[in-house]
Amino acid sequence: MHLQRANNIFVSSSFFIFITRFFPSLANLLVLVWYSRQLPEDVNGNYLIFWTQLYVIYPFMCLGIHSLVQTYSRNLLANLLSKLTKKHYALYSAWLVLISCVFAWLQYDTGNVRFLTSALFILSFSAGVITESLLIVLRKFGVLSLTGFVYALLFAGIHLWVLGANFSVQTVFSCLLVLNMLKVFVHSCAILLEIRKDKDGYEAEDVDMHAVKLLWVHLGLYDIVQVLSTWVDKFIIALVLTSGVSAIYYYGAQNIPFLPLLLSAAGSAILLQMSDVFGKSRRETTLALLNRSGRLLSSIVFPVFCFLFFFREELFVNVFSEKYIPSIPIFAASILVLPVRAYSFTTVLQQEHKGNIINIGAVGELLLACLLIYPLYNIFGLPGVALSFVVSTYAQAIFYLVQTSKVLGTPVTSLIPLINWLIKLIVFSLLFIAIHYSASIYFTGKFTLILGAAAMVVTGVLSLLVELTLDKKHGRIAEQSPFKEYR
């Protein structure tokens, strides 16, 4: 009964968090498609440069605080905040001003957005990230969902209005600055109202500040490195090449929408189930959970990968317009990383508090990618830049698997459903090649794209149903061993 209740809470909380982030992500995707078709490459490139530099720099302002606060209960968090002094707040405020000025100078140097607008924008953006995390701790999911939905509507509306008027990058971000400030204001009011409900205050608890600081360092470093590994290539391209070329690379190397949310939810679900298993069966159950997660995620990720790879030309021509045909080879290189996303590589390490190993892998992945950028660029051009991060991601995955096998005392091959993955990749690849070849002969590019998308949905659903049926046939997770199942 306790486990069922925990699962119900997890599902409901995950749903609201997903919805909170889904609508802004959807609005951003629509704007990307919209602007790719309406704006010249150089103008669109100037707009995208602002976001690229924002995503690279804002983690240095948050410093992992948004991840840290979600680690603790509201009671422990209140006790932790009570330990902070005016000196701590003053130092952090000075740091915020310094980093916001660095970001503002970058925008001022390009001549796209004014200094004050840029500084206030990144400050309000970072504040929104932290206040959102506080609302999650306070379980104010209704406020988060509503503000996320309204923010997405206004975000899209602002971009539509500015595009219809006399478009300028300055106008877009001036309007978005007001929107960010309104969002932070609503979040802050909701936080204060929730805090006032606790009239009796919070129970005093002993807080191990050394452990908190150590966790903060690990979380802050990991958050910064993860963001850099996603955005540093776009950041470098924006600095050294023209805005038009930057736009072409941005669209080619963009992240697949909503997939990170799905993978994050899967990792959290595994952690939740692992936390309820103790004793001698823990190792076997962990292996079963990892294999099951890999099979289920691959049922979704692999069809998406095959569709995007084999229908990439139709996708770019019909969605982003012919202006971004040069982005297609970059896109083909960047999505080669998708198959490795069908697994949560850090889950066991996180459960075993191996934050140092996780950060070693994250930093190593970023350094390797940066070392590969120049030689691969000389060989393959812009697709080589994207390929450098694909190679480093696979190297990181191998590192995490080896470390996980040491922690669990089991062979690497027992951690992943390798045979299952190979069968799916071969079957799905042959299927999508056949569908693409046949459709391109008899239909137009737009109908070919629709047919491919339909095939992606159907194969994903069927594959998922097959895996779920096999799970029922083999029994519950806690009772089965991964060595008894096909992999």
Q: Give the pLDDT of residue 291.
A: 82
The one-letter amino acid at 409: G
Instruction: Write down how long the chain is.
Output: 487
Are 365 and 346 in contact by the 8 Å Cβ rule? The answer is: no
Q: Give the pLDDT of residue 320.
A: 87
Q: Give the pLDDT of residue 105.
A: 93
Question: Could you give the CA distance from residue 31 to residue 160 in angstroms, rounded to a whole number?
Answer: 8
Q: Give the pLDDT of residue 354.
A: 79
**Torsional class of 181: left (φ above 0), alpha (ψ -120 to 50), beta (otherwise):** alpha
> Taking the CA atoms of the chain, what radius of gyration do you get in angstroms?
23
Are 307 and 432 in contact by the 8 Å Cβ rule? The answer is: yes
Are 330 and 252 in contact by the 8 Å Cβ rule? The answer is: yes
Question: Could you give the CA distance from residue 195 to residue 42 in angstroms, rounded to a whole number?
Answer: 47
Q: Give the pLDDT of residue 153.
A: 94
Q: Give the pLDDT of residue 198.
A: 66
Taking each helix axis from N to C end, the angle separating 115-137 and 141-164, rounded to the nearest 10 degrees, works out to: 160
Query: By C-alpha distance, which of 431, 421, 230 is closest to 311?
Result: 431
Question: Could you give the CA distance from residue 471 to residue 291 in angstroms, rounded to a whole number?
Answer: 11
Are 343 and 295 in contact by the 8 Å Cβ rule? The answer is: no
- Cα-Cα-Cα-Cα torsion 333, 404, 286, 133, nearest 10 degrees, comes to -70
Question: Could you give the CA distance from residue 44 to residue 238 in angstroms, rounded to a whole number?
Answer: 12
Query: By C-alpha distance, which of 391, 274, 402 is closest to 337?
Result: 391
Render pLDDT for 256-298 as a digit per residue (tens, 0 to 9). Answer: 776 776 666 555 555 555 545 444 466 777 787 788 888 888 8
Which pairs from 307-310 meet CB under 8 Å and 24+ separation? 307/432, 307/452, 307/453, 307/455, 307/456, 308/256, 308/335, 308/338, 309/335, 309/336, 309/432, 310/429, 310/432, 310/433, 310/436, 310/452
The alpha carbon dihedral of 318, 324, 330, 334 has a sign of negative
Render pLDDT for 41-76 as a digit per residue (tens, 0 to 9). Answer: 888 888 999 999 999 999 999 888 887 777 666 777
Q: Give the pLDDT of residue 281.
A: 61
Which residue in the block uniquely carries the two structure tokens 């006790």?
A: 79
Tokens for 177, please give them.
């600055």
Alpha carbon separation from 401 to 392, 394, 397, 471 (Å, rounded): 14, 11, 6, 24
Query: By C-alpha distance, which of 432, 427, 398 is closest to 415?
Result: 398
Query: Which residues of the chain fall short of a pLDDT of 50?
Result: 1-11, 275, 277-280, 476-487
Q: Give the pLDDT of residue 267.
A: 56
The alpha carbon dihedral of 358, 7, 421, 298 has a sign of negative
